[in-house]
Chain A
Amino acid sequence: MTVESTAARKPRRSSGTKRAAGAASAAKAPAAKAVATAQNAEPQLVQLLTPEGERVSAADNPDAAEFLSFVEDITTEDLRGLYRDMVLTRRFDGEATALQRQGELGLWASLLGQEAAQIGSGRALRDDDYVFPTYREHGVAWCRGVDPTNLLGMFRGVNHGGWDPSTNNFHLYTIVIGSQTLHATGYAMGVAKDGADSAVIAYFGDGASSQGDVAEAFTFSAVYNSPVVFFCQNNQWAISEPTERQMRVPLYQRAQGFGFPGIRVDGNDVLACLAVTRWALERARRGEGPTLVEAFTYRMAAHTTSDDPTKYRRDEETAAWEAKDPILRLKTYLLASGGADEAFFEALEAESEALGKRVREVVRAMPDPDTMAIFENVYADGHALVDEERAQFAAYLASFEEGH
């Protein structure tokens, strides 16, 4: 099946068709509970690598068939690369969590469990594509070539991001949830105006999907047919609130009402995330407009280091998701298929250690900003009040020096 016919004929193809039917029948049931159950039920989704580490073939799953063509070019070496990305990202994330516990970072938002969603989608991007992340996209940043230590400044409290988004086409982390989906849409409108064939991807979570800005981004991108992919990592929990508190129908189905395709992918399957994101990006490049990808995954750690998941979720749930671990399943496949040997894993372990060490060193050496940085970059063209307050505060600070 060609890419074009996939998009043109069956935009929401995948298990999504079945899910839509399921939700519709549930909605007819008198009890609202039935809908909630439909939302929670084990979803059918695009999966190319099972939790047991087995590749899905077209014969196994016709729904997966059309997406297999999007990863046909992926070699064993590529798979090792994806594995390396996930391992190093997890190591970086673990190191950051440890640094927060040691008091080196004020806060950390862990991506533990979401490595496949981020690496799969991140590796689908071209250099000229533009990424609008939320505050947990450490794996996507890794794929963009952003030095991971750059991500730590805001969590250490020395800046609010600070990197130049245009260097890696990776926008600053956005903390107000959902805001960046509109920035991505506007940027994509600009891409279309420029006649470029770049695509834009906006990351957000299941909690952000409740925000009006996300709905407005869907509206604008649909109306202007903007080349943007909305990549929602549904990690099941918005701090302590489960998806039942965010939605009554599966997230990806929402796209239909806005007039563009939505699809649910196994967010713990790096290969499926890569394939589905490539499919969506190609639609964008061909001028076919936005796509909503719902990566169905799980946040294994806390929302941030400030909350305590034991207060709001069950151990059995976490354990069930542990069995779907994105890294473990690829390792199983690589070992079983002979795609990697012990030497590869050992070398990677050494590389992980080195990354962890570097992250620790860089964070601890990160200097506090100069006090007068408070007044810097408030305005591009300057501002009389800022100038006045800067001068007053400088004089105030200088008065202590004179007292010596």
Chain B
Amino acid sequence: MAVEKMSIAKALNESLRKALETDPKVLIMGEDVGKLGGVFRITDGLQKDFGEERVIDTPLAESGIVGTAIGLALRGYRPVVEIQFDGFVFPAYDQIVTQLAKMHARSLGKVKMPVVVRIPYAGGIGAVEHHSESPEALFAHVPGLKVVSPSNPSDAYWMLQQAILSDDPVIFFEPKRRYWDKGEVDIDAIPDSLHAARVAREGADITLAAYGPMVKVCLEAAAAAAEEGKSVEVVDLRSMSPIDFDGLQASVEKTRRLVVVHEAPVFLGTGAEIAARITERCFYHLEAPVLRVGGFHAPYPPARLEDEYLPGLDRVLDAVDRSLAY
């Protein structure tokens, strides 16, 4: 069994390397992904080993990157495109929403769109404007797209493989402040389904649901709560479209309480959808309303304020207390 300890960044790099080795139709495209290896070095060394025809530095034009990836997919390629930062995806939003997401349906299933759009997202690295956003709900709302986010190196490795193998377009959100977190990756494992939620910590009193960068915060909150005698279950959703409601429901039926945590603004966010559906599914099991912890209805703030803006241990524990008080 080949288990290695590596960072999320390294896991993603290894995952891309494996995909390039396995399938000659896989291409990496994006700004600075070649010699530089991407601004986060996720594609480090790939152009050197696979050449400029497989690892393609593109002009600085996001709509062009996604639009040409669509054309390459029509020609039989499987492009994995990198959008440099979350806030830069919007020039490509039109191509993603009006073209990439709809091509399969528009062609009555004749055309497949195996395109992965990798986006380093969310905050916590002290960046300037447009470098710390969490736009996942904007993509999850679009029929035809699949939206996922890993929270640890093993998932980063496997979920990216699965996203590349998918015949559907996948928006792959990478939690940039967790890039350097290390964990074990079993490169011979048989992975879960790409869209299956995972119980990251078992508990009996309340469920915390999160994905991407917030999973770690929730695990820390659960550990802190345990010291106060509270048993908190943490569910790593992994996928925002589709959402594994069956998996989440099983947890909530056990704990009877749910708090959803994400960095994105709470209003009309992923948590709102989860609260509504879990309320429908678990109405007679719930001891408290589903609560949400997340960003405010305000632009992502300047870096000196992001510690206040981002849900941290205290805000999560406060929500746990509020839920338990019902």
Contacts and interface: CB of A to CB of B under 8 A. Distances in A.
Contacts of B108: 159, 161-162, 376-377
A213 interface: yes
A379 B77 CA distance: 18
Contacts, number: 149
A183 B195 contact: no
Interface string A288-317: 000000000000000000000000000000
B9 interface: no
Interface string A190-224: 11011000000000000000001100110110010
Contacts of B76: 190
Contacts of B107: 161-165, 172, 377
B59 A223 contact: yes
Contact of A379 (B144, B243, B246): B144
Contact of A377 (B67, B104, B241, B245): B104
Contact of A160 (B105, B112, B146, B168): B105
B141 to A, nearest CB: 11
B53 interface: yes
Given A172-B106, A182-B63, A186-B71, A379 B146 contact: yes
Interface stretch (A4-12, A53-61, A380-388): A380-388
Interface stretch (B92-100, B216-224, B229-237, B263-271): B92-100
Given A164-B110, A185-B68, A216 B61 contact: yes
A379 B59 contact: no
A379 B104 contact: yes
Contact of A378 (B72, B98, B104): B104
Contact of A166 (B102, B103, B110): B110
Interface string A103-127: 0000000000000000000000000
A189 interface: yes
A388 to B, nearest CB: 8
Interface string A366-393: 0000000000111111011110100000
Contacts of A384: 195, 242-246
A184 B166 CA distance: 23
Given A171-B74, A220-B59, A186 B102 contact: no
A385 B243 contact: yes
A388 B195 CA distance: 15
A172 B113 CA distance: 14
| Residue among B53, B74, B143 having the largest count of chain A Cβ atoms under 10 Å | B74
B106 A160 contact: yes
B297 interface: no
A174 B107 CA distance: 11
A193 B74 CA distance: 13
B279 interface: no
Nearest to A216: B64
13 contacts: A165-B107, A172-B106, A172-B111, A179-B94, A182-B64, A182-B67, A183-B67, A188-B71, A190-B71, A213-B64, A376-B109, A377-B104, A383-B241
